[in-house]
Amino acid sequence: MDITLNGKTVILTGAGGGIGSVITSYFRKSGAKLILVDISEEFLDNVHDSAYDDDYYFCDISDQEAVQEFFNEISRKYSRIDVLINNAGIQAPIGQFHTNPLDLWKHNIDVNLIGAVHMSWYVIPVMIKQRKGKIINLSGGGSTSPRPNFSAYAVAKTGVVKFTEELAVELRDFGIDVNAISPGAINTQMLDEVLACGNIAGEEYMTSMKRKVVGGNDPSIAAELICFLASNASDGITGKLISAPWDPWRELDFQDQLRNDKDLATLRRIDNKYYIRKS
């Protein structure tokens, strides 16, 4: 899929991670102006490339004051923000909920869910003013089915999907599309975290061992989907949770379905398998 983002200014959080670095590469090829955000200089070094005119910022997205300072700084340089990609996330703690330290459990929510809330809250007024924008949130395992031993991550990512749906309805009249994607099971540092936990991760430990050998889903598929959702070609698609490896999102017919069927690709129980009919 040939996607052009020339002239678009894009904020990407978690830019130095496994998926973030692939997204960065795709957006550079598309011609976008990138504002790359991560929590440390070490992570941003992973994607630094002097051949591109990217901007790099260190920011803890779970800290509202830090996010406000970041937006204050970029507002002095940029008159518009076209795309926000809420990619930053953490997986820990792993293990049964009642054995998780509560401070780590809540920190997961603060990064994965509240971090996306912080970034969105500050960018939305900019997009409303320009009456155009794209917000793309990364969901993950546990958002549509149980993921035992990963309760904080699953709860946070489910919250991200619901947050996406709510914003999509509120912002539709301003020309702002808000979507979530499920990137699939990609081999990143999160896989190594599962393997390091051993049996504490439950059945997912064995699944992860196999995935380490045979490989996971191709991260470039997720990056390509995100590029599509950032482009004008996706205008009118909003409030959806789209699977990068499984949904036929490249097909025009499916794209039209996403635009016209408000219940498609959402968390609601509306299909023939789960819908409870009145007797």
76 Cβ contact list (under 8 Å, min separation 6): none
Asked if residue 154 lies in contact with residue 141, where contact means CB atoms within 8 angstroms, the answer is yes
User: What's the confidence (pLDDT) of residue 202?
Assistant: 55
| 28 pLDDT above the threshold of 50 | yes
State the distance between the two ends of the chain, measured CA to CA, in whole angstroms.
47
What is the rounded CA–CA span in Å between residue 165 and residue 183? 18
What is the residue-averaged pLDDT of the chain? Answer: 87
Sequence-ordered alpha helix ranges (H) in 182-243: 189-197, 203-214, 219-230
pLDDT band (50, 70, 90) for residue 205: very low
Cis peptide preceding 93, ω within 30 of 0: yes
User: What pLDDT score does 187 carry?
Assistant: 45
Residues 6+ apart with CB under 8 A from 145: none
Closest listed residue to residue 87, CA positions, set 6, 155, 160 = 160
The per-residue pLDDT for range 223-272, each reduced to its tens digit, is 999 999 999 999 999 999 999 988 999 999 999 999 999 889 998 755 55
Weakest-pLDDT range from 117-126, 157-166, 209-218: 209-218
Any idea where the domains of the chain sit in the sequence? 9-188+219-260
Domain 9-188+219-260 part of CATH 3.40.50.720: yes
CA 111 to chain centre: 12
Q: Which of 26, 78, 153, 205 is catalytic?
A: 153
Q: What percent of the chain has pLDDT over 70?
A: 83
pLDDT tens sequence across 82-92: 999 999 988 88
26 is catalytic: no
Q: Which residue has the tokens 């976008």?
A: 32
